[in-house]
Amino acid sequence: MAANVDKKQHYRTIEKTCYGANIIYLILHVFYLVLFIVNHYDILAYVTGGIIAIYILFFFLIKARKYYIYALCCGNLFFGYISVTTIMLGFNTGFHFYLIGLCVVSFFTTYFSKFRNIKGSIVWVGLSLTIYLTLYLVTTFNKPYYENIPQWLEMTLFITHAVVVFGFIAIYLVVFLRYAMSLENKIVNESRTDELTQISNRYGLYDYFENEDNKSNLVLALFDIDDFKNINDTYGHAVGDDVLTKVANLAVFTLKDSFVCRYGGEEFVIVLRNEGKYSFFDKLEEFRKSVEKETFEVGFNKVKITVTIGAAKYTNGISLEKWVELADERMYTGKNTGKNKTVI
């Protein structure tokens, strides 16, 4: 299920980026078309009109989830359009800025592509650099096809391209950063979550201890399921796993506003505050008795279990390891004196 959610999020990110980019490309080329028509640059007007039609068709590519093909088509289309417009209008119009933007887009596309071939991005960068230098040399030694371009038009195109390209680079990097951060958070959360019970694991406990500023009223309780090995031996490990999950859920439900984690095996840690109407002992006893009364129905099996709990109050400067050790000693005192009890 989690893998499907990640895949959907992955495709949503790509789809939104592609749709957004294509809409901006389309608007940009309509803007060019208006400028070229106003200035009677007929050849560029026809070329731009044809490219607008292609960008409209690109929406069908995106809808069909042909993202890699879309990226390739866009890149090649830009290479051609940049070359034509720069040769016809001159280097100072700033169309060459797009070549810088294409380098960033190529790596972005590679990261989100299922092929993930970084060599392809390096080829795109090399091709962009080659075209950039070629256009610079061609326009340096040859006059543009349309000479005497109005200064306002040259400045408008230059500023437009600078803003659009640097804006695009920023947008692509923001999208990539957000996606990377969401993956990082997911990895951190998964590393702090017990796979079986879906509650925190001991690494989550370490984080909780480090991030909790007010520890003065805290109590740490360690409990495990009495004779859990017998459950595994009698009913099998699948039943044992179900029992662990149901005990974890019962602990979370009963000890509301407390931190519950699976410490390892059949051992669980509860961190609760010693305040309010009931003392921490009363709260732990309520949980212990609720486990004792519960009949755990696992498949065709009905399992009765008990837990033994050891608890220790927080004392200034104590390490988490020592705190757990104190609770562990008290839990084993309970184990050795009859089980199914809370020892403080």
Instruction: Record the tokens describing residue 219, joined without a space.
Output: 């109590």
Active-site annotation holds for 266: yes
Residue whose token pair is 């069909």: 64
State both tokens at 15: 């789809």
List beta partners, residue 313: 219
- Give the largest CA-CA distance in the chain: 100
Catalytic residue among 266, 267, 285, 292: 266
3-state secondary structure 86-147: HHHHCHHHCCCHHHHHHHHHHHHHHHHCCCCCHHHHHHHHHHHHHHHHHHHHHHHHCCCCCC
Helices 97-112, 2-38: crossing angle, 10 deg rounding:
160
Q: Are 85 and 93 in contact (CB under 8 A)?
A: yes
Overall residue count recorded for the chain in this entry? 344
Residue 266 neighbours by CB under 8 Å, 6+ apart: 224, 225, 228, 244
Alpha helices in the chain (DSSP H): 2-38, 42-63, 67-89, 97-112, 118-141, 151-191, 202-211, 228-235, 237-254, 280-293, 320-336
Closest CA to 171 of 343, 1, 25: 25
Q: Catalytic site residues?
A: 266
